[in-house]
Amino acid sequence: MNDPSLARDAFLETVRIDTPTQFQGRTVLEEIEFRNVRLQPGDRVCFLFPAANRDPREFEDPTRFDLHRKPRRTLAFGNGIHLCLGKQIALIEAEVDIQELLAAIPEYSVCHAEAHLARTEYVRGWLSLPIDFEARG
């Protein structure tokens, strides 16, 4: 990424395409019909973040990483009353971190063969993600 102004977009696209939280469970509180399925109070539902953030009805070419994508919404930080309270500070921190890192280390490569994902059902993340880089002198 050569344009520092894309740092926030890069972060948002990253958490859209590779959401750390995999699912949330909820209990239905009132009768509702959703896509021709009637849900009753007490029914349990499971919300799948990766599926929602890659829904082709919401995102054009949803599995493609696109720095210039301007989605009107994603669910990487939740939504409504379940919106992450730290979303705004996370966006600021990510933007500054990415800009500063790329200013200091513009050339790098990820060592994919040595990378290891955590194996859990709820959270997705890296146990190790080695990077080769050269810092500017």
What are the pLDDT digits (tens) for 27-62?
A: 999 999 999 999 999 999 998 989 999 999 999 999
Q: Tell whether 86 and 65 lie within a shared domain.
A: yes
Q: Tell whether 12 and 73 lie within a shared domain.
A: yes
Q: Tell whether 19 and 41 lie within a shared domain.
A: yes
Q: Tell whether 19 and 56 lie within a shared domain.
A: yes
Q: Tell whether 63 and 10 lie within a shared domain.
A: yes
Q: Which domain holds residue 92?
A: 4-104
Q: What is the pLDDT of residue 135?
A: 57
Q: Tell whether 51 and 100 lie within a shared domain.
A: yes
Average pLDDT (105-133) is 89
Q: Is the pLDDT of residue 7 over 90?
A: yes
Q: CA dist 18 to 13, 61, 70, 107, Å?
A: 8, 15, 16, 23
Q: Tell whether 44 and 94 lie within a shared domain.
A: yes
Q: Is the pLDDT of residue 2 over 80?
A: no
Q: Tell whether 70 and 23 lie within a shared domain.
A: yes
* pTM of the complete model: 0.81
Q: Tell whether 71 and 16 lie within a shared domain.
A: yes
Q: What is the pLDDT of residue 137?
A: 52
Average pLDDT (7-18) is 93
Give the mean pLDDT of the chain. 90
Q: Are 131 and 116 in contact (CB under 8 A)?
A: no
Q: Tell whether 31 and 82 lie within a shared domain.
A: yes
The domain tally of the chain equals: 2
Q: Are 120 and 20 in contact (CB under 8 A)?
A: no
